[in-house]
A and B are shown apart, each in its own frame.
Chain A
Amino acid sequence: MTARHAILAILLAALATLPQVVPPYFMHLLIQILLWGFVYTSWSIMGRFGFVSLGHGAFMGVGAYVPALLWNYFGVTPWIGIPLGISLAVVLALVIGYPCFRLKVVGHYFALVTLALGQVVMLSIVAARDVTGGSLGFTPKAVGYSWFALQFPQKAYFYVIALALWFAGLAVWYWVDRGIGREALDAISEDEEAAATIGINVIREKRSPHSAAPSMGNI
């Protein structure tokens, strides 16, 4: 175990000193890799228990647009906006997930329901183009360097945030793995598994998109 710990410690030290030696484009790539790895981890937490969802983008969209809209229109700091976005995405997941598992909509049908959910969220955001900018996207207002708004001129700050998020994602994965563990594909244990799984993965992947948005806006 000690050899493994030593290797992990060396890797961590290398990752921590990376921002100083690496040009900004590579930093941008690394941040993208870490953020998307975080998102995929959250998706596969659900996938490994047999609940393939094709509509994960719906939760990402809600989690990204809620803090961005709150910041641009009301000046609400992302420190409050991001947990708000997370809780709204969880509510959405429960609204869709709870009837699914009560009424036994599983397998192929569940995948299609989540696909429909993804399309509904995307089309609703595009249709409300006066508020959300429609297909053109939505950039948060830039205020330069500010902890209040979670915006920074150098990418190193975002790198540290992305790294912390990625580790948090891995920690959640290990927690789910050790805790529930077996592939509960029995009809009996499916119920509490499923609702819990949708909730957990939605919670974790919310924080990523808002970190991405200000980093894009500050290039």
Chain B
Amino acid sequence: MAGLAACLLILQYDVHPFIGNTFGPLIFMICVLGGLGDMIGGFVAAFLMSQIIAIGGYYFSTELSYVFAFTFFIVLMFLRPHGVLSR
């Protein structure tokens, strides 16, 4: 499935041996935000993070949008340590 996602992504990004470094930390965040091992949680978390990055990038600069996304991640880790859909 990761291969499928990568195939879809290269339509928008270029291909070089270091693509993974760009997405690495962000992917870790989204997986952990969704809860480790929770598929639907990962889905929800991915949409959540991408909306924050996109909307934050619209109102502030693009790099600051990532800062907001990661700060949101830290705060949410304090509130829901086991992922967004946990109880």
Contact = CB atoms under 8 A, between A and B. Distances in A.
B66 A112 contact: no
A119 B67 CA distance: 8
Contacts of B28: 112, 115
Contact of B63 (A99, A115, A116, A127): A127
B77 A113 contact: yes
B14 to A, nearest CB: 19
A74 B32 CA distance: 42
B70 A109 contact: no
Interface residues of A, number: 19
Chain B residues touching A, range = 10 to 19
Contacts of B78: 99-100, 103, 105
A124 B78 CA distance: 21
**DSSP majority for the A interface?**
helix
A108 B67 contact: no
Interface string B54-80: 000000010110110011011001100
A48 interface: no
Interface of A: 96, 99-100, 103-105, 108-109, 112-113, 115-117, 119-120, 123-124, 126-127
